[in-house]
Amino acid sequence: MSPLLTTPPVALSIAGSDCSAGAGLQADLKTFSALRVYGLTAVTCVVAEVPGRVTRVQAVDKDIVEEQLRLLLGAFPVTAIKTGMLWSASTIRLIARVLDSLPRTRRPWLIVDPVMVATSGDSLIEEDAVTAYREALFPQADLITPNMDEAATLLGQAISREEDLAGAAHTLMKTLGAPVLLKGGHLRGETALDVFQPLEGPAQLFSGPYFHGVSTHGTGCTLSAAIAASLAQGQTMPEAISTAKTFVSNAIRTLCRWNGVDALNHNGLT
């Protein structure tokens, strides 16, 4: 019997490994699979964590990161890339060089989730990495997806009101030189409002329900992975954001829980 061959679109996650599988590469792979995309991973660091607690981060040698990237990008027709936890300036600059070396005709979509602080409050980035993001990786991005804490770091000021989101997203777009999806879920209102600011044209709002009393460990990783997967499937950026927003809302709504530990449900309920 001959195999039934398929050629699904391919997406690559460049991120850290979360041993609890709620965020990082593991969450990205679950999301890719749920959205019918073949997922690849390049590991940047190994993180010992569970929801609400990070105990140790071990960076992967940057030469191994480079080898993973060059091998994967040479072997697979990667349509979309998302970056997550990159940890160090040297790794960020390395990734930027590898991506910049790709021929313009086969440059994948690039979604940059600037992971800086865990939901638990633990730092997930070295101090000089923000400068590397600004100088090397953000200029290549098709979309940057900061949450409010990350946006505050990039802006140099806190965002505390829903009505400030659109202005902050516009300022970030101008400052960073790339489209921005500013995630407003940390406002903890009745809705989770995200603002998409493209390079040209007005901001677009994406709203979903806010679920109180649950851990949202991994929502940022899952959202950016879902956007990358949807772009790989041929959706436009606004369509991909809408699909991702629905996917994350359902992953929270149907979450898993064991003895007080919450985890997103990535079973593809869209």
3-state secondary structure of 262: strand
pLDDT in tens, 24-77: 999 999 999 999 999 999 999 999 988 888 899 999 999 999 999 999 999 999
* Cα–Cα separations (whole angstroms), residue 182 to 4, 65, 142, 185, 204: 42, 28, 14, 9, 11
Q: Is residue 247 part of a domain?
A: yes
Q: Is residue 143 part of a domain?
A: yes
262/218 Cα distance (integer angstroms): 11
Does pLDDT of 270 surpass 70?
no
Q: Is residue 3 part of a domain?
A: no
Which of 117, 146, 119, 122 is CA-nearest to residue 134?
146
Q: Is residue 152 part of a domain?
A: yes
> Which helix (DSSP H) or strand (DSSP E) does residue 66 occupy?
helix 62-75
Q: Is residue 5 part of a domain?
A: no
More confident residue, 152 or 40: 40
Q: Is residue 242 part of a domain?
A: yes
More confident residue, 98 or 209: 98
Q: Which of 155-164, 191-200, 216-225, 234-243 has the lowest mean pLDDT?
A: 155-164
- Asked if residues 90 and 126 have their Cβ atoms less than 8 Å apart, the reply is no
132/135 Cα distance (integer angstroms): 5
User: Tell me, what CATH number does 242's domain have?
Assistant: 3.40.1190.20
Supply the range of the domain harboring residue 83: 10-263
Q: Is residue 71 part of a domain?
A: yes
pLDDT in tens, 192-204: 889 999 999 999 9
What predicted TM-score, i.e. pTM, was given to this entire model? Answer: 0.95
Catalytic residue IDs: 183, 216, 218-221
100/76 Cα distance (integer angstroms): 17
Q: Is residue 29 part of a domain?
A: yes
Count structural domains, the chain: 1
